[in-house]
Structure 1
Amino acid sequence: MSARRAIYEALMADQPLGPLDAAVLVDQHHAEVLREARAKGVEATHADHAAAARQARARSGGWLHVTTYKSAHTARCICSQVRSGCLTSYQPAGDFDARVSVEEDGARLYVRYVGRGQ
């Protein structure tokens, strides 16, 4: 049995992993298995962007905290999608501004309605 398979089965059986197991995950299987480990141990962040957009429109110009992401990279990607209108809740493009604030508990996404889209 491969090391990856053994570690994966330990994760699925809710068996604790030691530091050596974590090193094997990083060295041999990098992102794919780390995603599996994170999915098993960390609840995903879910944001209701439709509700956030409605609230931001109601408080035009004021910053609204949408959610806190565990990954700053994810928060920055969503931030860009808000500004460009790629997320349908924040259309048309340019109607919303967004920013990310990296804190100890994660990366906080803030949006505000500016209403200058086309």
Structure 2
Amino acid sequence: MIVAALLVVSGLVVLISAIGFARLPDFFLRMHPPALAFTLGSWCVALAAALYFSFLQQRAALHPLLIPLLLAITVPVTTVLLARVALFRGRTSGRGNVPPSLARPGAPESDPESEKP
């Protein structure tokens, strides 16, 4: 019953996230629901798998918990890279709904290659 409840909770969280994703108008706003669903949804599924296999094998099966740990490391990096690409594309295309660069107006953009000794 506990495993089934965790899987149902995970499915509901992902469904709510998908509805929010479809309703939000902007890419930057659409980045949040999947990230929030990842957090709760993946932990619910991993906990359900750990409980199921622990009862099935009659010993602690903690290897399913590695999946959300690895996702917790990689998802923020991917999200930051996607946001940076979206900012760059928005600024180069001249769209008005993109925040301005933090560089001082008129200052040249720093080039990492030119700063090497």
Q: Which TM-score bucket, shorter chain as reference?
A: under 0.3
* TM-score, structure 1 as length reference: 0.25
Considering fraction of residues, name the structure with more strand: 1
Which structure's CA Rg is the greater one? Answer: 2
Higher helix share: 2
